[in-house]
Amino acid sequence: MPGDDSQVIYVWFDALCNYVTALGYGSGAGSDDDAAYRRFWAGDGRRLHLLGKGVLRFHAVYWPAMLLSSGQPLPTDIFVHDYLTTGGRKISKSAGSADCDPAALAAAYGADAVRWWLP
């Protein structure tokens, strides 16, 4: 925590807050700086989340709890996709299996299939 090295912030707290702070939340109610927040989050429309199944807990438990505690609207829909796999293994940079060429995948399976799988 800036100014107090004895304190830390859970990475998911910081990461999830970016959904609304990137839209201008906290910049002052009614200011031009929060117009995107009012349009895309606080408005009457749907608030959609698209995420991979590996982070579902953070988006379906922690994030709604944070929003409820601060009086903010909840997501209206959460869409969860499976993992993209190659050779029966999840494609992952940390596992060293992210060396797939998107152009080769598109050539083999078509651009629409690749667009559907890749965020």
What confidence tens digit (pLDDT) does each residue in 31-63 have? 678 888 988 898 888 998 888 888 999 999 999
Q: What is the rounded average pLDDT of the residues 4-23?
A: 86
Show the beta-strand stretches assigned E in the chain. 48-52, 77-81, 85-86, 89-90
Q: Enumerate the domain spans of the chain.
A: 84-119
For residue 68, pLDDT over 90 is answered with yes
Q: 101: helix, coil or strand?
A: coil
Report pLDDT for 115: 80
Lowest mean pLDDT among 8-17, 63-72, 105-114: 8-17
Question: What is the pTM assigned to this prediction?
Answer: 0.67
Q: How distant is the alpha carbon of residue 43 from its chain centre? A: 19
